[in-house]
Amino acid sequence: MYTLSSKLRLFSIILMVVGLVGLTTGFLSTPNTVEDVKEMMAAHDAHGGGHGDTHAKADAHSSDGHGKEDAHGGDSHYEHVLHQLQNKPWAALYVAAFFFFMIALGVLAFYAIQFAAQAGWSPVLFRVMEAITAYLVPGGIILFVILALSGFHMNHIFHWMDTDLVDPANEHYDALIAGKKGWLNVPFFLIRAAFFLGGWFLYRHFAVKYSRKQDEDATGNKWYKKSFKISAGFLVFFIYTESMASWDWIMSFDPHWFSTLFGWYVFAGLFVSGITTIALITIYLKSKGYLEFVNNSHIHDLAKFMFGVSIFWTYLWFSQFMLIWYSNIPEEVTYFITRIEDYKLPFFGMLAMNFIFPLLVLMNSDYKRINWFVVMAGIIILCGHYIDVFNMVMPASVGASWFIGISEISAVLLFLGLFLFIVFKALTKAPLLAKGNPYIEESKHFHY
Amino acid sequence: MASKVIHALYTDDDVLMDAVKQVRSEHYHIEEVYTPFPVHGLDKAMGLAPTRLAITSFMYGCVGLTVAITMMNYIMIEDWPQNIGGKPSFSYLENMPAFVPIMFELTVFFAAHLMVITFYMRSKLWPFKEAENPDVRTTDDHFLMEVDASHQDVDKMTSFLSSTGAVEIKVIDKQEDNH
C-alpha cells in the first residue's frame, strides 16, 4: 500500500493556496470600465518601447478590421480590449481546468485500450492509471461548473453564448452563429456536457470497481471479463463523445470556424498528455520504492507510446494546418492567421516542444530506459500540450491581449495542486499491484 | 591453413540456448550458430555486439532530408521562382508546408532503402551468392553449432558437447578458412 507523505500533501496544498491567491488577484485586477482600459494602456504606452509598438499595431489592426465598429463610436476599440482583459482570468482558469481534466481523460482512454487489447505488459501499471483517473470526477465537475457559469453569462469566453448574436432584431445579429443555433445553444450544450461527463464517470466507476473485485475473487475471471466488455463499450462511446466534446468545449471558442479532424487532434493531445503523466507518476513512485515489480522495460514501453503519439499529434496538427494553409479559403484560414500574427512564439514553440524535442530525445532505445531522460521529455511534452490548449482557447477569448502572467500560472498551480492531491490520495486507496488480473504474471516478467 | 571445427546438431531451441551458455562458460569458441528461425535471446547468449543498423538508418534519414530540402530549395525558390497558384516562393520557409510531404517521404525513403542495402552488404547477401549452409537440415528443423576445435582435445570436446544435448556431432577438417 502507498502512504501519502506529509511533504507531498503539504506541497499540493501550498500549490492550491498560492494558485487560488494568484487567481483571485487576476480576477480583481481586471479593468471594470472603458476608462480603466484607457488608463492602463496610457500607462503602458508611457513605458514606451516594445509595448507601445504592439499597441500601435493593435490600433492599426482595429482601424482596418473594425472600421465599421469605429463608426459607431471612438470607444469601440477600448471596449474590445476591455472584454478581452475581462476574459483573461476566466480563460486562464478554463485552459488549466481543461488541461488537467484532459490528462485524466487521456489516461482513462489508455486504460480502456489496455483492457480491450488484452495487453500483457501494462497490468502492473493499472493501479497508477486508476489513481490518475480519480481526478476525472472532481476535474469534470469543475469543468462543468465553469461551462455552466459561462452559460449563465458570468463571463464571455464563449462568444456564441451572447444572446444578442442570434436575435435578428439586434444590431449585433450574426447570421452564421444564428445558423448554428440548433447545436450551439446553452441548454443543449450543458445537457451534452452532462451526458459526456456522466458516461465517462460511469465507466471509470465500474472499471475501478471491477478491478478491485477481481483482486478479491479471481475465480473464472468473472470481473475481468466484465471489465473487458465495458472497456470495449466505453471506447466506442468515448470516440464519439470526445469528438463532440472537442467541438463544444474547444472549437466553439471560434464559432465561425470549423475543422473536420479537430476531434482527433484534441484526442491526440489528451492521449499523449495522459501517457506522459502515467510515465512520470510511475517513475516517481518507483523512485520512492513502491513499484518494485515495474522494470525499465515498462518505462521503455511508455516512452515508446509518448514518442509515437507525439508524432501522431504532429501528424494531425500538420494535416489540419497544411490543408487550410494550402487551400487558403478565407473563412477557414483566419483561424491560423490570428494565431500566427498574435501567437507566433507559442504557436510554433509548441511544435518544437511537442514534436522536435520528443523526436530527438526519445528516438534512441537506450534513452527510453533512462528515467531522467523520460522525465525531462515528459515535462517538456506536458508544457507543450498546455500551450497547445492555450493556443486553441486564448485567441478567440482574449485575442492579442494574451500574456502568460499571474492568472495563467496561478490557474496551472491551482489545478496542479488539486491534481496531485487527488491522484496521490487515490493511490493510497488500493494495493499498487492489481494481483487478480490474469495478465499480471506476464506483466511482472515483461521484458523488452 | 587447415583448421578443425566441430559441428554439433540440436533439435530444440531451448536445448541449443542452454548448450550455447555451457559452451561459453567452458571458454570454447563458438564460430557460428545456424538456426531455421530467429531464436530470441541467442545473440545475447552468444555475447554478440548489438547492431548499429539503426544508427546508420538515422544518418541516412538525415541525408534524405537534406537532399529533399536542397533539391526543392534550388528548383522552387532559387532557379525558377514562379507564382504557382499564389503560393509564396520568396523563401523556402514561406512555402515550406507544401514541401513537407516530400521532405518526409524522402527521409523515409533514404532511411529505409539505404539501411536495407547496408544490411545486405554487411551480411554479404546478394543474388547468385553461394549458400554457406553446412547442413541442409538447419533450414528446416535442426540447429547447428560450429565450435572451433583447433588446438583442443577433440575427444573431450565431443563428450562435452554430447552432454549438452547434441543429437549428432561431427568433426570437420576445413581446408581453407571460408570466413
Give the Å distances, CA to CA, from A15 to A11, A23, A411, B51.
6, 12, 10, 47
Nearest chain A residue (CA) to B40: A448
The stretch A285-312 carries a mean pLDDT of: 94
The rounded distance, in Å, linking the Cα atoms of A376 and A302 is: 14
The rounded distance, in Å, linking the Cα atoms of A352 and A317 is: 12
Interface check B93 vs A, CB under 8 A: no
Contact A109, A154 (CB under 8 A): no
pLDDT exceeds 80 at position A68: no
Interface check B54 vs A, CB under 8 A: yes
What pLDDT is stored for residue B176 in this prediction? 60
Mean pLDDT of chain A: 90
The rounded distance, in Å, linking the Cα atoms of A291 and A433 is: 8
CA distance, residue B58 to nearest chain A CA (Å): 9
What pLDDT is stored for residue B152 in this prediction? 81
The rounded distance, in Å, linking the Cα atoms of B73 and B115 is: 26
Query: Looking at this predicted complex, what is its ipTM?
Result: 0.89
What pLDDT is stored for residue A45 in this prediction? 63
Query: Above pLDDT 90, what percent of chain A?
Result: 76
Work out the angle at residue A148's Cα, subtended by the Cα atoms of residues A143 and A152, and round it to the nearest 5 degrees: 150
Interface check B100 vs A, CB under 8 A: yes
Specify the range with the lowest mean pLDDT, choosing from A52-56, A170-174, A381-385: A52-56
Q: Which of A321, A363, A365 sits opposite B97 (nearest CB)?
A: A321
Q: Which three cell numbers stand for residue A317?
A: 496538427
Give the Å distances, CA to CA, from A138 to A245, A419, B13, B171.
17, 9, 54, 74
- Give the relative orientation of helices A296-327 and A262-287 as an angle to the nearest 10 degrees: 160
Q: What is the pTM of this model?
A: 0.90
Contact A411, A394 (CB under 8 A): no
Interface check B96 vs A, CB under 8 A: no
Closest CA to A441 of A433, A200, B114: A433
φ/ψ of B146, rounded to 5, equals: -105, 115
CA distance, residue B60 to nearest chain A CA (Å): 15
Q: For an interface test with B, give the residue of A311, A315, A323, A325 to mutate (most B CBs within 10 A).
A: A325
Nearest chain A residue (CA) to B99: A322
Q: For an interface test with B, give the residue of A318, A336, A369 to mutate (most B CBs within 10 A).
A: A318
The stretch A104-117 carries a mean pLDDT of: 96
Interface check B86 vs A, CB under 8 A: yes
Q: Is A175 exposed, middle or buried (0-12, 13-18, 19+ CB in 10 A)?
A: exposed
The rounded distance, in Å, linking the Cα atoms of A54 and A47 is: 12
pLDDT exceeds 70 at position A73: no
Closest CA to A86 of A15, A4, A30, A16: A30
CB contact under 8 A, B97 and A365: no
Question: What are the beta bridge partners of residue B144?
Answer: B9, B34
What pLDDT is stored for residue A61 in this prediction? 44
Residues A237-263: tens digit of each pLDDT: 999 999 999 999 999 999 999 999 999
Nearest chain B residue (CA) to A324: B97
CB contact under 8 A, A365 and B54: yes
CB within 8 A of A334, min separation 6: which ones? A256, A257
Which parts of chain B have pLDDT scores under 50? none
Give the Å distances, CA to CA, from A61 to A77, A213, A399.
10, 62, 12
The rounded distance, in Å, linking the Cα atoms of A151 and A424 is: 33
Length, in residues, of chain B: 179
Interface check A367 vs B, CB under 8 A: no
Contact A391, A95 (CB under 8 A): no
CA distance, residue B98 to nearest chain A CA (Å): 7
Residues A148-177: tens digit of each pLDDT: 999 998 888 999 998 889 889 989 899 999
What residues of A are in contact with residue B58 (Cβ under 8 Å)?
Answer: 363
CB contact under 8 A, A328 and B98: no
CB contact under 8 A, A321 and B98: no
Task: Indicate the helix (H) or strand (E) that contains B171.
Answer: strand B168-174
Residues A407-442: tens digit of each pLDDT: 999 999 999 999 999 999 999 999 999 988 999 999
Q: Which of B54, B86, B97 sits opposite A322 (nearest CB)?
A: B97
